[in-house]
Amino acid sequence: MRLLPVWLTCDRENGLNLKAMDAEQLREHGHKMVDFIADYYKCIETFPVLSQVEPGYLRKLLPDSAPVQPESLQAVLQDVQTKILPGVTHWQSPDYFAYFPSNSSVAGFLGEMLSAGINMVGFSWITSPAATELEMIVLDWLANLLKLPSDFLSNSPGGGAIQGTASEALLVVLLAARDKVLREVGKDGLGRLVVYGSDQTHSSLQKACQIAGIHPENCKLLKTETCNEYALSPESLTDAISHDVASGLIPLFLCATVGTTSSTAVDPLLALGKITKRYGIWFHVDAAYAGSACICPEYRHHLNGIEEADSFNMNCHKWFLTNFDCSALWIKDRNALIQSLSTNPEYLKNKASQGSTVVDYKDWQIPLGRRFRSLKLWMVLRLYGVENLQAYIRNHINLAKHFEDLVAQDPRFQIVATRTFSLVCFRLVPANKNEDYVNKLNRELLDVVNSSGKIFISHTVLSGKYVLRFVVGAPLTEERHVIEAWKLFQETASTLLENS
């Protein structure tokens, strides 16, 4: 590991006089912090991607209590370097290929910095009109980029709001859907409400059901099949709904996914959407990861059928160069959300809100307080421009395709699911070995490559098979990183097979 900034060792400062806020101190220390972070990015390849520390490592390194007297920034950054960074898994490393990416970018960083600088709390329009209005504008921009139907735009009864995460987006729309139906059937209908997803739907659906009071047995995750590429089949949804209606249950909500977490499967939105219309079910589409790709015309067809959706979500903080957190949610009926989530205490009353001429985003989300997150998305869109953003996505998908080709050329390996975006699902499959052995072998392969510190990947299980997931999506990743990663898999496989 290389040592970070030079100024840490050559600059003596004392920390006794840092003011609560002071423009000149902010300038001086801010410059140093930016230097520190820039140096971090400069050396990021030299760190082990997956942190190699043991649980509890940090308590041994830090004092038991906060300092009574102030310390210097220099002392703190020295600790960051020697004690904190070893415990960091480097999501921005070009050798990071795990889970899904969580992009940082120059534009996203600058937006985050500006948001931290202004540090307003924009729960109502009046608390910072620009925050609400910019959010509406950039979500309209993004909706248009994704060619979302016009009833998701801010000049319609619907609109968009930035949530912290896809999980919160899903929860708030589930609450809106639940309350809409309970207003019709009465509060004691709660135990009969049914929520549908597939066995590939993100676990945030289950969590949202737990919080929303949906009976655990009524959160139905329908089985998907290998032959269907793990997409939810419309037939199985119709069957489940008919069965539930016949048993006196009330179908409430379907969460379909464009780009599932395990294998980036794409559910057939149009067919599923038609079914939800027939039964009056709220239709939510989760494109947390793959939504970003749909700004490219050649991937937009994955959103065909989105006209049928009541709500749609994509995480700009995954693969859209916007620093965490920034999850874009659009909804067709903003009133459904507002009826579930609004409160109107005396101390927040103001003329603009009372006049109903403005959007108060506090009524579109769980917390009251909210950050100026639209700044970073605005800066990403403006400082990169659509063409560069499309090129960014295409480059990652091409790199993933290259990796897939390399895997396919080695007979010891197998591609397990069709690659649709920038995720390759694959495994090592030596001849004449049983499934248990192969699963164990792949678990070992994952452990060995990750503990090398050279790359970081994650896994999933598909149809009982332990599968390696290799996702290209970090901003610094280039072809050479993908090629080196593949060499590491090949060499590790050779060693494991020799020793078995």
Within residues 453-472, the interface with ligand PLP by CB under 6 A covers: none
| Shortest CB 174 distance to ligand PLP, Å | 13
Measured between alpha carbons, how far apart are the two ends of the chain, in Å? 33
In single-letter form, the type of residue at position 269 comes to L
Q: Quote the CA–CA distance of 85 and 65 in Å, as a whole number.
A: 21
| Shortest CB 122 distance to ligand PLP, Å | 20
If binding means CB under 6 A, how many residues of this protein chain bind ligand PLP?
15
260 vs 311 by CB, closer to ligand PLP: 260
Binder among 74, 257, 374, 420 for ligand PLP (CB under 6 A): 257
SS3 category, 236: helix
166 vs 176 by CB, closer to ligand PLP: 166
> Which DSSP string do the residues of 326-389 spell out, in sequence order?
-EEEEES-HHHHHHHH----GGG--HHHHTT-S--GGGGSSSS----THHHHHHHHHHHHHHHH
| Shortest CB 164 distance to ligand PLP, Å | 7
Tell whether residue 261 is a contact of ligand PLP (CB under 6 A).
yes
Alpha carbon 108 to its chain centroid, in Å, reads 15
> Which DSSP string do the residues of 405-457 spell out, in sequence order?
HHHHH-TTEEE-S---SSEEEEEE--TT--HHHHHHHHHHHHHHHHHTTS-B-
229 vs 444 by CB, closer to ligand PLP: 229
167 vs 322 by CB, closer to ligand PLP: 167
77 vs 288 by CB, closer to ligand PLP: 288
Question: How far are the Cα atoms of 8, 117, 332 from residue 17, in angstroms, in the given order?
Answer: 19, 21, 52
Question: How far are the Cα atoms of 201, 285, 303 from residue 490, in angstroms, in the given order?
Answer: 32, 38, 36
Binder among 286, 310, 333, 404 for ligand PLP (CB under 6 A): 286
In single-letter form, the type of residue at position 63 comes to P
Tell whether residue 292 is a contact of ligand PLP (CB under 6 A).
no
Tell whether residue 204 is a contact of ligand PLP (CB under 6 A).
yes
| Shortest CB 255 distance to ligand PLP, Å | 9
For residue 179, is the peptide bond before it cis, meaning its omega torsion is within 30 degrees of 0?
A: no
Tell whether residue 289 is a contact of ligand PLP (CB under 6 A).
yes
115 vs 292 by CB, closer to ligand PLP: 292
327 vs 477 by CB, closer to ligand PLP: 327
Check if the beta carbon of residue 138 is closer than 8 Å to that of residue 381: yes
Over the window 140 to 179, marking each residue x when it contacts ligand PLP by CB under 6 A and - when it does not, the resulting string is -------------------------xxx------------
Tell whether residue 322 is a contact of ligand PLP (CB under 6 A).
no
113 vs 288 by CB, closer to ligand PLP: 288
Contacts to ligand PLP by CB under 6 A: 100, 165-167, 202, 204, 257, 259-261, 286, 288-289, 315, 327
